[in-house]
Amino acid sequence: MVKSCSVYGCSNRANNAAKEKGIKFFKFPKTGHKRRAWIKALNRKNWTPNKNSYVCSSHFVDGWHAYDREEQDYAPTIFQEAEKNKKTESESMLHLLRRMHNYSSTDTSEDTENQVLLTYDDIDLDIKITENKGVQCDADHLIEENLRLQRENNELRSQISELKWSVNKIKDNDKATRLYTGLPSFAVFVWLFNFLLPKAQNMRYWNGSSTPEFDRQRPLQTCVPLIDQFLAVLMRLKVGLFVHDIADRFLISTSTFSNIFVTWICLMYEELSIINRYPSRDLVNQTMPSSFKKFKNLRVILDCTEIYIQRPSNLITQNLTFSNYKQHNTLKFLIGITPSGVISFVSDAWGGRISDRQLVIKSGFLDMLEPGDNIMADKGFTISDLLKERKCTLNIPPFKTKDQFSVEEVFNTQEIAKLRIHVERKIGRVKDFHIFDGVMPLSLAPVASKCFKVVCWLTNLDIPIVD
């Protein structure tokens, strides 16, 4: 069956002509408030939509139906009014002439040869043309009341605009920028936004996994500018504010901000991964601080960290995510930093039950090594045999095999501990993003890996931790 628009008087059908015009057809909602809103908008008497009822995109302001009740395209709003069949002045005059001609042709007192056909110019009609002109009168109290309400409305709008959060809250204020975004300065904030802007202008907003793929990638109609969306997402990461709190600050619904947050996280993950590649050995050696010169070919310092998550209802998932070290359900990440203090490797999230050795194997870190690389880690990383297979070396504090360490072992332990502290400091910067404080809800679990990697890459834009 060919799709056709259910709006009265609309002749759009799903054919080639509609396709060339870019007209789309949306199926009538099956149930709920949205279905009732569409039926009310169509205003058709004694009509009930069925499974074959559609409304075309010509009846929506932005050419797409919205999911938020507050948006103007929640229901169709554009309808062509029925044209009234009014006769024009010339048509009325022509009708009058024809009537007079018929009257004259029936007159028996005159001979038909002497009859004169009447034309438009032969008739002298006494028609007075009037013109509507304004008159001076006292002001209507209803008009005065309307003007007063308009002024009051404008004042309230200005007050709301002052209460609404925007990028002006941190503009040219490096201290506020670091507090709310985690970036070192407002200049860095602007640079990062301009870097993401070309893709952000064309991105499609996430709208839930239960929505069909084509609908879920529709443009999101929102009054929040892109730079304010970017600020709101960074505030969620850095300050750890609740979704309701941020939605109230930016005067949007919680569902709209949730869509914005997931979409921007995916965008930043894709774009920041381009400028945070695993560095080559030559680049690492060129930026090697003097304190690391003793460890030749040192390429990365490894450590693991965990974040708390809400306990899953599935027993198998509970078992896989339970950490004996934290005595809680956690997600575990493997982090590697260069000697200069830049995070060069971040693994995906794994259940807290996994060991450090298994995490190194399954994260794909070993595939990034080259023969001759030197890796620094703590005693928990029992991976020396794995590195030997790839002709790499491992620097870890020595294990105690006698009653006490030798002098050489003591100095070696001190050297490694003094340098390994930098990876702890870098992880500390990541944990300063308060979205990882407390227990992460399971609703964020699908994007937990992307959130953590994005935060790690954002810390690379901060001041170096190693001179």
Sign of the C-alpha dihedral, residues 183, 187, 188, 189? positive
Beta bridge partners of 343: 337
Q: What is the pLDDT of residue 238?
A: 95
C-alpha R_g of the chain: 36
pTM for this entry: 0.65
Statement: residue 14 has pLDDT above 60:
yes
Sign of the C-alpha dihedral, residues 169, 230, 446, 179? negative
Statement: residue 314 has pLDDT above 50:
yes
Q: What is the pLDDT of residue 222?
A: 60
- Does residue 267 or residue 67 have the better pLDDT? 267
Q: pLDDT band at residue 350, thresholds of 50, 70 and 90? A: very high
- Strand, coil or helix: what is 303? strand
Strand residue runs (E) in 270-388: 298-308, 322-323, 328-337, 343-346, 350-351, 374-376
Closest CA to 10 of 61, 54, 66, 62: 54
Burial 225-254 (b: 16+ CB within 10 A, else e): ebbbbbbbbbbbbbbebeeeebbbbbebbe
Instruction: Report domain extents, the chain.
Output: 16-74, 167-272, 281-459
- The mean per-residue pLDDT over the stretch 259-272 comes to 94
Most confidently predicted of 125-139, 279-293, 427-441: 427-441
Pairing verdict, β 328-337 and 350-351: antiparallel
How far apart are the C-alpha atoms of 300 and 303, rounded to whole Å?
10
- The mean per-residue pLDDT over the stretch 131-150 comes to 67
Q: pLDDT band at residue 111, thresholds of 50, 70 and 90? A: very low
Q: pLDDT band at residue 400, thresholds of 50, 70 and 90? A: low
- The mean per-residue pLDDT over the stretch 417-430 comes to 84
Percentage of residues in the chain having pLDDT higher than 70: 80
Q: pLDDT band at residue 97, thresholds of 50, 70 and 90? A: low
Beta bridge partners of 332: 306, 350
How far apart are the C-alpha atoms of 239 and 229, rounded to whole Å?
15
Q: Which two tokens stand for residue 393?
A: 């070396």
Please name the CATH architecture into which domain 281-459 falls: 2-Layer Sandwich (3.30)
- The mean per-residue pLDDT over the stretch 375-383 comes to 87
Q: What is the DSSP letter of 72?
A: G
Burial (CB count within 10 angstroms: exposed 0-12, middle 13-18, buried 19+), residue 395: middle
8 Å CB contact between 176 and 170 = yes
How far apart are the C-alpha atoms of 74 and 35, rounded to whole Å?
10
Percent of the chain that is helix, strand, coil (3-state, to 5)? 45, 10, 45
Q: What is the pLDDT of residue 457?
A: 95
Closest CA to 379 of 417, 349, 405: 417
- Strand, coil or helix: what is 160? helix
- Does residue 153 or residue 105 have the better pLDDT? 153
Statement: residue 130 has pLDDT above 70:
no
Residues 185-244: pLDDT tens digits? 999 999 999 999 999 988 888 776 655 544 444 445 567 889 999 999 999 999 999 999
User: Tokens 């007159």 map to which residue?
Assistant: 107
Vertex 344 angle, CA 339 and 348, to 5°: 140
8 Å CB contact between 453 and 273 = yes
8 Å CB contact between 451 and 444 = yes
- The mean per-residue pLDDT over the stretch 4-27 comes to 87
Q: What is the DSSP letter of 55?
A: E
How far apart are the C-alpha atoms of 106 and 212, rounded to whole Å?
74
- Strand, coil or helix: what is 152? helix
Average model confidence (pLDDT) for the chain?
Answer: 82
Instruction: Please report, as a single letter, which amino acid is at residue 444.
Output: L
Residues 435-447: pLDDT tens digits? 998 899 998 989 9
Which residues are within 8 A (CB) of 156 and not within 5 positions of it... i.e. 6 or more apart?
A: none
- Strand, coil or helix: what is 115? coil
